[in-house]
Amino acid sequence: MAGKAELLLIGRATARMMDAMAADFTVHALLDQEDQQGWLAENGARIVAIATDGHWGASPEVLQHLPKLKIISCYGVGYDNIDAAACAARGIVVTHTPDVLNAEVANTAILLWLATSRRLIRDDAHVRSGNWEKGPAPLTQSVENRKVGILGLGRIGQEIARRIEIFSPTISYHSRNEKPGVSYRYYADLTEMARDIDTLICITPGGAATRHLVDRGVIDALGPEGTIINVGRGTVVDEAEMVQALIDGRLGAAGLDVFEHEPKVPKALKGMDNVTLLPHVGSATVQTRQAMGDLVTGNLAQFMRDGTVISPVPECANM
């Protein structure tokens, strides 16, 4: 009798995911191998499935060792570290975890926006340090009636917009295509939108097509009263330009869950009290991460059962 199919785990998985995957697969964790290249060269030919995440992805250097690979199941909605078009061309289906994290990431965007505008971290420090006994904290910026622009009105972007409606009558968005049936104002040009708003919330995918969409021109159009909230990918914002603009006072504030070279964060940001910094935790609650894990293992199990998957990435939707 043939043994179980073999799966390569890139990165880490929860105990619940490991249990679920063990039903169909013998799981090999790449991070447990001392000599990863040597292990791949020796064992890669037996691997039919990969479980990975948006951070680790699946590099060409790994994939070249896996001639029998049929499926890559990615934990996270962003898959910019996987060349999905190349995988589709090789007959490898790539899946991700859209929708189950929409509400959580949208909540994180609102959390960052409120915390940044109302200087939550600075004022918390004001209490803890005892400075409150010497005097009140300086006033902050209201989130009521701001002009908010969303860069990327997709699944998550629309959830963010729905929440912003409570605070702001003026919501606009930029994406490559105008979204049918949406009442928010569409801008075909991002810089033009930036001129008309005071808060820019970024929630596009990463990758080459969106790299540095938020460049110096967009940052200067937002201006000294402007705020950038980024819960998409760090690469979407020209981070060096954003930091310099914050130093110069050409940009007012920033709330950031993602960074261009994360987990490395520019030192200058760490000393600013007009920025709020999070370690890429947009979807990182127990409940949402469990739902994401279940979708990762659900895609793998369904594929082993009948060759279909629940949530393919768009490049693999018609395989």
Contact residues: ligand A2R, CB under 6 A: 77-78, 98, 105, 152-157, 175-177, 203-206, 209-210, 213, 232-233
CB of 125 to ligand A2R, least distance (A): 29
Give the DSSP letter string of the chain.
Answer: ----EEEEEPS---HHHHHHHHTTEEEEEGGG-SSHHHHHHHHGGGEEEEEEETTT-B-HHHHTT-TT--EEEEESS--TTB-HHHHHHTT-EEE---STTHHHHHHHHHHHHHHHHTTHHHHHHHHHTTGGGT-PPPP----TT-EEEEE--SHHHHHHHHHHTTT-SEEEEE-SSPPTT--SEEES-HHHHHHH-SEEEE----SGGGTTSB-HHHHHHH-TT-EEEE-S-GGGB-HHHHHHHHHHTSS-EEEES--TBTTB--HHHHT-TTEEE--S-TT-SHHHHHHHHHHHHHHHHHHHHHS--SSB-GGGTT-
Q: How far is the CB of 99 from ligand A2R (least distance, A)?
A: 7
Q: Which is nearer to ligand A2R, 44 or 78 (CB)?
A: 78
Question: Are the C-beta atoms of residues 3 and 27 closer than 8 Å to each other?
Answer: no
| Least distance to ligand A2R, CB of residue 263, Å | 16
Catalytic site includes residue 262: yes
How far apart CA 292 and CA 283 sit, in angstroms, is 9
C-beta closer to ligand A2R: residue 28 or 55 = 55
Nearer to ligand A2R, 52 or 274 (CB): 52
Q: Which is nearer to ligand A2R, 23 or 317 (CB)?
A: 317
- The residue among 252 and 255 lying less far from ligand A2R, judged by its C-beta, is 255
Confirm whether 128 is a catalytic residue.
no
Residue for token pair 């960052």: 112
Whole-number minimum distance, CB 100 to ligand A2R, in Å?
Answer: 10
Query: What minimum distance in Å lies between the beta carbon of 96 and ligand A2R?
Result: 8
The nearest distance, CB 241 to ligand A2R, in angstroms, is 18
Of 314, 313, 295, nearest to 20 by C-alpha is 295
Q: Which of 233, 239, 241, 315 is catalytic?
A: 233
Chain position whose Cβ is nearest to ligand A2R: 154
Please identify which of the residues 119, 126, 280, 289 carries the catalytic annotation: 280
Nearer to ligand A2R, 65 or 233 (CB): 233
Sign of CA dihedral 87, 88, 93, 96: positive
Residues taking part in catalysis: 233, 262, 280
